[in-house]
Structure 1
Amino acid sequence: MREIKDKVTFKGNPVTIVGEEVKVGEKARDFTVLASDLREVKLSDYAGKVVVITVFPSVDTGVCALQLARFNQEAANFSDDVQLLTISVDLPFALGRYCADKGIKNALTASDHRDLDFGLKYGFVIKELRLLTRGTIIVDKEGIIRYVEYVPEVGQEPNYDAALEVVKKLV
């Protein structure tokens, strides 16, 4: 397990990111997270689809809520061969409640709380907080990573336009 320092800040302070940083062109690593009904969800469940993975610390914060809402809205325009998967370390029940309350229907929202399997395999774990940092990963239909964004300041939104351009090119 690798630690990356001084790459990401939280409220202006550097934090340590733990896990294996991924790069464009690499084969995507399978992982297991939990859906709001506690069902295991794996990346491999979506083999043959473009998978947009959007990552954030907690749905109970303003920027994370904006990120989830924006990607959920954009996913309404995705074709059937694109899967939006949002991941945080919020408890599955909290994610389910939030999505029901806010009408989030286009995103499969999942929790990495149990094992940090996604966060460690993709280099998103904030060591000091046991939260995931913010970012976006896009995996093509062949399972190759085609887009990676680790947002440098946790309080900033991801680059939606850049990610959505990649999705358009892949479908």
Structure 2
Amino acid sequence: MKENKGVVTFAGNPVTLLGELIKVGDTAPDFTAVGEGLKPARLSDYKGKTVILSVFPSVDTKVCAAQTRRFNKEASGLSEHVVVLTLSKDLPFALGRFCAAEGIDRIHTLSDYMHSEFGLKYGFLMKENMLLARGVVVINPAGKVTYVEYVKEVTSEPDYTKALEAARAAL
């Protein structure tokens, strides 16, 4: 398995990302994660749409919660042809509880807890703690990656403006 060093830090400490780092122009690899109601959810379920993948370690942290709230807010201003999927290693129950308490209803929460398939296929899995690093990936309706951000310091927020511009441009 490929190990990527020097891409991100977590609380100032370098971490190793496992798997292949995704790049603009790549065909987005399909993956299966756990969705609401413990049902399998696949990227291919959203074929033909522009997909924003909002990736973070755990919704139970301040920055991850802020990222989820922000993308939920921004989703209301996006085309119906754009879908926002969040991915973390949180259990689906925790994601559901957070979304219910916060009124999060415009995005879909997915958990990579079971097999880390997303984390490994997209290079977001941190070896040291087996959580997902923070970032954003935008995929156009043809299934091509049009934007990628691996947030350099995992405890920082992503560049929402660039991600949203990429999503609008991908339509």
**With structure 1 as the length reference, what TM-score do the two structures score?**
0.98
- The alignment status of 1:136 with 2:136, answered yes or no, reads yes
**Percent of aligned positions that are identical:** 53
Q: Could you tell me which amino acid in structure 1 is paired with residue 30 of structure 2?
A: D
Name the CA distance, whole Å, in 2 between partners of 1:167 and 1:133: 21
Name the CA distance, whole Å, in 2 between partners of 1:26 and 1:167: 16
Deviation at 1:6, TM superposition (A): 1.9
Could you give the per-residue CA deviations for residues 118-165 of structure 1, whole angstroms, max 9, x where no partner exists? 000000001110100000000000000000000010011000000111
Name the CA distance, whole Å, in 1 between partners of 2:153 and 2:107: 24
Unmatched runs of 5 consecutive residues or more in structure 2: none
Could you give the per-residue CA deviations for residues 56-90 of structure 1, whole angstroms, max 9, x where no partner exists? 00000000000000011000111111110000000
Deviation at 1:170, TM superposition (A): 1.9
- The alignment status of 1:34 with 2:59, answered yes or no, reads no
Let me know the Cα RMSD of the aligned residues.
0.7
Q: Which residue of 2 aligns with 1:62?
A: 62
Could you give the per-residue CA deviations for residues 85-122 of structure 1, whole angstroms, max 9, x where no partner exists? 00000001110111011100011011000000100000
Q: Which residue of 2 aligns with 1:75?
A: 75
Unmatched runs of 5 consecutive residues or more in structure 1: none
Question: Structure 1 residues 4-13 or 120-129, which shifts more?
Answer: 4-13
Question: Structure 1 residues 2-11 or 144-153, which shifts more?
Answer: 2-11
Deviation at 1:36, TM superposition (A): 2.7
Name the CA distance, whole Å, in 2 between partners of 1:39 and 1:148: 27
Name the CA distance, whole Å, in 2 between partners of 1:168 and 1:53: 14
The runs of at least 4 consecutive aligned structure 1 residues that moved more than 6 Å come to: none
